[in-house]
Amino acid sequence: MEKKHKIFYSLIIISALVIVCFVTIFYISQMNQTISDNIIGSISEIAEHDKSAIQTYIEICWDDLHEIADRFKNNEYKTIEDIEKRMNLECASSSFSNLYLLAEDGTLYTDKYIPHVSDGNIVNRNTDFLPYFADGEEKIFARFDNKGDEGSLSKEMILYGIRLDHYEIKGTKMLGLIGTSDISTIRNKIVIDSFKKNGKARGHSALIDMKGNYIIDVNKEIYPNKSDNLYAHLTESAYSELTNEEVTKKLKRSETFGFYHTHEGEEDKELFYFMPFKKGMDLYFITSVNEEVFMEQTNTFVTMSMSMLIISMATVIIMLLIVMVYQNKTIRTTEKAKSQKEFLSNMSHEIRTPLNGLIGVNHLIMAHIDDDSQKQQIKEWLKKSDSTANYLLSLVNDILDMSKLQAGKVDLIIEPLLIPAMIDDIFSMQAENIKSRGVEFIVEKELPEPCVEADATRIKQILMNIVGNAAKFTPKGGYIKLTVRQAKTDDTHVNTIYTCEDTGIGISKEYIGKIFDSFSQERNKNTNGIKGTGLGMAISKLLANAMGGDIVVESELNVGSTFTVTIPSAIVKDMPDYLKNSGNEQETETHIVPVNNEANKPLKILVAEDVELNAEVLLEILALEGFETAHAKNGKEAVDQFQASEPGEFDIILMDMQMPVMDGCTAAKEIRKLNREDAKSVMIYACTANTFQEDRDMAIASGMDDFLTKPIDINMLLKKIGRNL
């Protein structure tokens, strides 16, 4: 009997072990599939993101070439020399390293004034671009290795091209316009960081054409400095799930697919994942991931499964937690991709909408410019055009601010701030707008420590956003109250609390949690027709956080909203002298008389600006303000004109930072080095579209006195001139 029991128990144990092993194997198999699906899903998302970024960049480059070609045609150049000069300027202001005009006979004209032809023979066979257009292609995107001297490495470039129709210069018919740029402009967009371990890349991405030629391959260790072919690599593979013929068929059908293969001499398999570009581009994006990535996670779960045999419940709990972690990761990845897509969509909408209106208004103005009966209407259109242009400028500034803030690169200028004077400035700037809407504007101040260390510009930006929003959404008969009070945190620090209360339309409970999101603006019957970028509140929140503070909001529909901004600051006990009379600064700086009192003559300004339209507008405005002006087309001309002038002839120089021949910073240094007394005293202002702190620092380091951002605010320019003179 005992022997029978032992046999029975043995069978039970063996059966249990078999069942457990079967369940474990099935579980591991299913988990492996889940891991594989998750990783492939991640690969697909990364590939789609990178592919979309590259696709957009390529289309932008083609659009740039079309715009350049349109400018060529509109200017009606008569000689090759003229078009080469224009190409040189276009190349300097574009993202292309070189520009080429390809004639139908194969002659290549460049932005370097060197035609690539000699006695009918092409000088450099590497620049024979005719084959690119041989099959009637309208747009070209290809790898272009600009070979150097014999024995040297090629310079890896990307070639973009468009076909030109009915365009000729001095009897020479042009076939296409071509631009090249360094391959890194695209390669840097497709590096897979998600699968790195201990600094070693276990995945890479590539771009191929329909013939399998690698246009871009970031896997430089395998394919150094040469153009390879996918089919050649597959032929040399030790193992491949698909043949070259099968891959070719899938490429022709524009399929998204993947398969495993193994390099010759290696054991680890690699997953190749293929994703086509949109129809007409004839390109494929490839992502390759080492099987080690899959095996790593599989081994982790095998270990957990073995633990399940000992403590099954604990293992189940652990597995549930891990599944939840991976689900959350997938959700976050999906939400991030969705957020990026929504951001680009919203940004496109916000920019294109006012641009559409601006272009339309300009069209109406041009159509009626000679109609005297339409003068009043033209004035109204010009006002709308100016308002729309300013809105576009504010949108660009907001987007730049958002980018810097989200990257943690916000520049805070902490210096003594007289809070009452700042609040008075905000009141004076907003009062007319608010009162014109039939809304009462109330300001209350309770400031035991009126002078603190803070960034006045950033705090004012936050409050202007909040008060400006309150004005938009508060109906006639209501009020807006801005209250400022303080709470000491210790003997040397204080929290300044700014509260903006309004009796506006309020914010819904559904939207109040999204109010600080980018491009977020509540849409309902009460807000219809109220324009905004949807970035103001997001920027205000990030700015407050960057200064160690915060913003909170309370609101009720059809009752009103209250925004509370808290900013911590150090107390300034000894107020600087320049702040003691700050309340009168606005009156004294609003206007200046543009006259040099010592010489009893109009102030003379040298404008160094290479863009003809910008220079024309600025010179005309300065002339209307009573200044005498002169124009230099680049930094070298500015230095030469100043050197040739009489001592003291120029009072001010407005210096563009980025110009051909000689840039603005170099020109400023050259002027300061001149052996004449006024070279050290003449006021030099940097004028540039670059608004980052490093640009300001570079301008000051070169010897310039101040900094003006483009588009230039004439009132701000006049204030700076008045203050400095």
Q: What is the pLDDT of residues 136-185, one digit of tens each?
A: 888 998 888 766 544 444 677 889 999 998 888 888 899 999 999 888 88
User: The dihedral of CA 393, 397, 403, 406: what is its sign?
Assistant: negative
pLDDT at 198 over 80: no
pLDDT at 630 over 60: yes
pLDDT at 462 over 80: yes
Contact 438, 480 (CB under 8 A): no
The two tokens of residue 420 are 């009452």
Side chain identity, residue 292: E
3-state secondary structure of 161: strand
At residue 716, the pLDDT reads 77
337-345 average pLDDT score? 63
pLDDT at 442 over 70: yes
pLDDT band at 585 (very low <50, low <70, confident <90, very high): very low
**Which range is least confidently modeled, 17-26, 234-243, 275-284?**
17-26
More confidently predicted of 438 and 346: 438
3-state secondary structure of 686: strand
At residue 379, the pLDDT reads 84
492-499 average pLDDT score? 95
What's the CA gap between 143 and 156, in Å, rounded?
Answer: 8
pLDDT at 372 over 90: no
What's the CA gap between 207 and 213, in Å, rounded?
Answer: 8
At residue 323, the pLDDT reads 59
CA angle 554, 557, 558 (to 5 degrees): 120
Q: What's the number of CA atoms in the CB half-sphere (13 Å) around residue 363?
A: 6
- Residues 6 or more apart whose Cβ sits within 8 Å of residue 162: 62, 65, 66, 69, 138, 139, 140, 176, 177
Contact 593, 602 (CB under 8 A): no
Nearest to 91, CA basis, from 126, 128, 65, 59 = 65
**Which range is least confidently modeled, 231-245, 394-408, 418-432, 505-519?**
394-408
pLDDT at 634 over 90: yes
pLDDT band at 135 (very low <50, low <70, confident <90, very high): confident
At residue 195, the pLDDT reads 63
Q: What's the number of CA atoms in the CB half-sphere (13 Å) around residue 639?
A: 19
524-549 average pLDDT score? 71
**Which range is least confidently modeled, 175-179, 243-247, 575-579, 679-683?**
575-579
The two tokens of residue 306 are 């073995």
At residue 548, the pLDDT reads 92
- Name the pairing type of β-strands 604-608 and 628-632: parallel
253-281 average pLDDT score? 83
Side chain identity, residue 683: M
384-412 average pLDDT score? 70
Q: Choose from 265-274, 441-450, 693-702 the range with maximum mean pLDDT.
A: 441-450
369-373 average pLDDT score? 82
pLDDT at 201 over 80: no
Q: What's the number of CA atoms in the CB half-sphere (13 Å) around residue 541?
A: 15
Q: Which helix (H) or strand (E) segment is 84 a member of?
A: helix 80-92
At residue 706, the pLDDT reads 87
**Which range is least confidently modeled, 196-210, 257-271, 337-351, 677-691?**
337-351
pLDDT tens digits along 75-113: 888 888 888 888 898 888 888 988 999 998 888 888 877
More confidently predicted of 598 and 47: 47
- Residues 6 or more apart whose Cβ sits within 8 Å of residue 420: 445, 447, 450, 583
3-state secondary structure of 628: strand
**Which range is least confidently modeled, 26-40, 374-388, 598-612?**
26-40
What's the CA gap between 398 and 239, in Å, rounded?
Answer: 53
pLDDT at 713 over 70: yes
pLDDT over 70 for what percent of the chain? 72
Contact 452, 572 (CB under 8 A): yes
The two tokens of residue 658 are 């980025």
- Ramachandran quadrant class, 403 (left: phi over 0; alpha: psi -120 to 50; beta: rest): alpha
Bond from prior residue into 276 cis (ω within 30 degrees of 0): no
**Mean residue pLDDT across the chain:** 79
Q: Choose from 47-51, 116-120, 442-446 the range with maximum mean pLDDT.
A: 442-446
More confidently predicted of 385 and 627: 627
- Is the pTM higher than 0.85? The answer reads no
The two tokens of residue 85 are 């000069």
pLDDT at 316 over 60: no
3-state secondary structure of 202: coil
pLDDT at 498 over 70: yes
What's the CA gap between 271 and 44, in Å, rounded?
Answer: 12
Contact 177, 68 (CB under 8 A): yes
pLDDT band at 222 (very low <50, low <70, confident <90, very high): very low
**Which range is least confidently modeled, 250-264, 352-366, 445-459?**
352-366
At residue 567, the pLDDT reads 95
What's the CA gap between 59 and 326, in Å, rounded?
Answer: 35
- Residues 6 or more apart whose Cβ sits within 8 Å of residue 338: none
**Which range is least confidently modeled, 78-87, 174-183, 392-401, 580-589?**
580-589
Q: Choose from 34-48, 155-169, 389-403 the range with maximum mean pLDDT.
A: 155-169
Contact 110, 116 (CB under 8 A): yes
Nearest to 180, CA basis, from 164, 160, 162 = 160
**Which range is least confidently modeled, 2-11, 355-364, 498-507, 632-641?**
2-11
Ordered alpha helix ranges (H), 276-370: 291-310, 312-368
At residue 165, the pLDDT reads 87
456-466 average pLDDT score? 87
What's the CA gap between 373 and 214, in Å, rounded?
Answer: 63
**Burial grade of 76 (CB within 10 A; 0-12, 13-18, 19 or more):** exposed
More confidently predicted of 631 and 376: 631
At residue 320, the pLDDT reads 52
pLDDT at 676 over 60: yes
Q: Choose from 234-243, 288-297, 301-310, 523-532 the range with maximum mean pLDDT.
A: 234-243
More confidently predicted of 410 and 564: 564
DSSP conformation letters of 162-199: EE--S-EETTEEEEEEEEEEETHHHHGGG---TTEETT
pLDDT band at 278 (very low <50, low <70, confident <90, very high): confident
**φ and ψ at residue 351, rounded to 5 degrees:** -85, -45
More confidently predicted of 186 and 408: 186
pLDDT band at 120 (very low <50, low <70, confident <90, very high): very low
At residue 527, the pLDDT reads 47
325-336 average pLDDT score? 67
The two tokens of residue 48 are 């789609």
pLDDT at 451 over 90: yes
CA distances from residue 487 to 27, 336, 451, 491, 571 in whole angstroms, order as listed: 61, 39, 14, 11, 12
pLDDT over 90 for what percent of the chain? 24
637-649 average pLDDT score? 94
Q: Choose from 290-294, 317-321, 617-621 the range with maximum mean pLDDT.
A: 617-621
The two tokens of residue 649 are 């002839």
Please give the distance of CA 531 from its chain centroid, rounded to a whole number.
23
**Burial grade of 244 (CB within 10 A; 0-12, 13-18, 19 or more):** middle
